[in-house]
Structure 1
Amino acid sequence: MILYEYPLNERIRTYLRLQHLFARFNKLTQRSDAIDHHYALTTIFEIMEVASRSELKSEILKDIERHKQMLNGYRGNPSISEKALDLIIEQLDQRFEALNTMAGKLGSALGESEFLNSIKSRSAIPGGTCEFDLPAYHAWQHHEPAARQANLFEWSQHFGPLANSIQLMLKMMRESGSTQKVMATAGQLQQNLPQGRNFQLLRLRIDDSLNLTPEISCNRLLVVIRLMQQQADGKLIASKDDTPFEMTLCA
């Protein structure tokens, strides 16, 4: 099964982009080749770009508070474990405190590094990080892998509270969803969203062997999913088959 996730607002779109970048960074830094560490560093630059939105920090803090209020509303419910509730609220408090104590824009301190700025500016140019353009960077790539990994870890810590907060927010959101089996009739599904609920994330699971790709469009009232068949040349054409798949709406 292939999992597809579709954000239903701009805030969740940003969360998913950042989570994607953090996952890529973590995978690249586990390797030892200089080329992997080059792409880990350019991933940091992408994270800096996405995290530079001035309102991002306040949005995450509001989101954490919203989840705390929701969870506190479950207190006294006999079907809810108070111990588990206290644990997750404690995690939310820790994320809030760590993020709230970060001064200025997220990752802004990295922008003061002359070494990183020189690489960042040249990375936007095709082939711009060649050895004759950035000899200091070329020398860094010849350091021992452990030394490069230590540098990358140090630079990434400027985004540690951000990564931890987003990971917890998305985990809670995904766990809030209820999965249903649905059918795309003649390759298409159109479904009204329940009123009175503010859904934020749509998740689909489709059998990989079907060779189908979903095209998703939605708003707060309606979800439309078209399943596309990929041809040998990569071209997508609309499927006409009745196809079952799993869909989850997360609030």
Structure 2
Amino acid sequence: MILFEYPFNERVRALMRLEALLDRMMFFAKPGDARHHQVALAALFDLLDATERTDMKGSVLQDLERQRNVLQSLRDHPSVDPKTLAAMLVEIERVITNLNAAGKTGQELRANEWLSSLRGRLAVPGGGTQVDMPSFHAWQYRSEAQRCADLQRWMSSLMPLQAGISMVMRLLRETGQPTDAVAPQGAYQQMLAGKTYQLLRVWVDESADVFPEISANKYMVWIRYSSQDGEQRPQPVNHDVAFKMTLCAL
């Protein structure tokens, strides 16, 4: 099954973008070729750009503190497992503590003159070559262990935010239960009856060779399935499509 997710608001959209950049950075920062590490650095600089003008740390803290208060109110609920609840509260408290202890997101990286210079060069197509920045070319020839150590040190200031975003998105995704649905002739609509949601998750069988184009607001969800062969523009399908979906809200 292929999972597609659609945010209902800009805050969740921003969290999903940061989540994807963090995942890319951490994946390519693993031991490997120097060209992989250049992709990790590019993702790192994209994260600095994305967090430069918005207080994502404060937004994530607000979400976590709100969820901590909600969970604390469930302590005496008979259907809640006290051990599971206690473990979740401890985990949330740890993430909140680490976020509060961290300074402004990426401030140490922005103060690093060499990284700032490299950030500017990598923003230019082909700017990371030895022609423009021989010091970066030399860094790429360091041992794999040295490069990984440097990347881990530079990434460390972003890890409290990564843990916070991961926790918020995990709590959000766990609020919904998947349900089976069918899109007649490739189109599906569902009225939301005034309920407020933050995230729509859609699973489609990979063998169906279709993808959903989604729009949603506080009144309804609209999904239109299309196919695309990589050569032409996506074309709407005209057959029934079975899928699973979940509506999530914290």
Distance (Å, rounded) in 1 between the aligned partners of 2:187 and 2:157: 44
Q: For residue 63 of structure 1, what is the aligned residue in structure 2?
A: 63
1:200 aligns to 2:198 (yes or no): yes
Deviations 1:110-150 (A, max 9, x none): 01111101110011111111102111111100000100000
1:142 aligns to 2:130 (yes or no): no
Distance (Å, rounded) in 1 between the aligned partners of 2:215 and 2:171: 24
Q: For residue 156 of structure 1, what is the aligned residue in structure 2?
A: 155
What's the secondary structure of 1:186's corresponding residue? helix
- TM-score of the superposed pair, with normalisation by structure 2: 0.96
Structure 1 residue runs of 5 or longer lacking an equivalent are none
Distance (Å, rounded) in 1 between the aligned partners of 2:26 and 2:116: 22
Distance (Å, rounded) in 1 between the aligned partners of 2:32 and 2:179: 42
Matches for 1:100-179 after TM superposition, within 5 Å: 100-104=100-104, 106-179=105-178
Distance (Å, rounded) in 2 between the aligned partners of 1:229 and 1:28: 30
Task: Report the Cα offset of residue 103 of structure 1.
Answer: 2.4
Distance (Å, rounded) in 2 between the aligned partners of 1:171 and 1:86: 17
1:28 aligns to 2:46 (yes or no): no
What's the secondary structure of 2:32's corresponding residue? coil
CA RMSD of aligned residues (A): 1.2
Amino acid across the alignment from 1:235:
R
Q: For residue 248 of structure 1, what is the aligned residue in structure 2?
A: 246
What's the secondary structure of 1:103's corresponding residue? coil
Q: For residue 229 of structure 1, what is the aligned residue in structure 2?
A: 227
Amino acid across the alignment from 1:5:
E
Q: For residue 51 of structure 1, what is the aligned residue in structure 2?
A: 51
What's the secondary structure of 1:6's corresponding residue? strand
Q: For residue 93 of structure 2, what is the aligned residue in structure 1?
A: 93
Task: Report the Cα offset of residue 234 of structure 1.
Answer: 3.8
Task: Report the Cα offset of residue 232 of structure 1.
Answer: 5.4
Identity percentage of aligned residues: 35
Task: Report the Cα offset of residue 194 of structure 1.
Answer: 3.9
Q: For residue 79 of structure 2, what is the aligned residue in structure 1?
A: 79
- TM-score of the superposed pair, with normalisation by structure 1: 0.95
Distance (Å, rounded) in 2 between the aligned partners of 1:9 and 1:221: 13
Task: Report the Cα offset of residue 244 of structure 1.
Answer: 1.0
Deviations 1:194-215 (A, max 9, x none): 43x4311110000111110110
Moved more, 21-30 or 115-124: 21-30
Distance (Å, rounded) in 2 between the aligned partners of 1:232 and 1:16: 25
Amino acid across the alignment from 2:76:
G
Task: Report the Cα offset of residue 53 of structure 1.
Answer: 3.2
Moved more, 231-240 or 113-122: 231-240
Amino acid across the alignment from 1:2:
I
Count of aligned positions: 249
Deviations 1:206-237 (A, max 9, x none): 01111101100011111100000213514211
After the TM superposition, which parts of structure 1 deviate over 3 Å for at least 4 consecutive aligned residues?
Answer: none
Amino acid across the alignment from 1:191:
Q
Distance (Å, rounded) in 2 between the aligned partners of 1:203 and 1:239: 20
Distance (Å, rounded) in 1 between the aligned partners of 2:239 and 2:131: 56
Q: Is contact 2:215–2:221 with CA below 8 Å preserved after alignment? A: yes
Task: Report the Cα offset of residue 67 of structure 1.
Answer: 0.7
Deviations 1:19-72 (A, max 9, x none): 111111121122321100111111100111112233312111110011112212
Structure 2 residue runs of 5 or longer lacking an equivalent are none
Amino acid across the alignment from 2:75:
R
Q: Is contact 2:31–2:145 with CA below 8 Å preserved after alignment? A: no
Q: Is contact 1:182–1:244 with CA below 8 Å preserved after alignment? A: yes
Q: Is contact 1:231–1:237 with CA below 8 Å preserved after alignment? A: no
Q: For residue 237 of structure 2, what is the aligned residue in structure 1?
A: 239
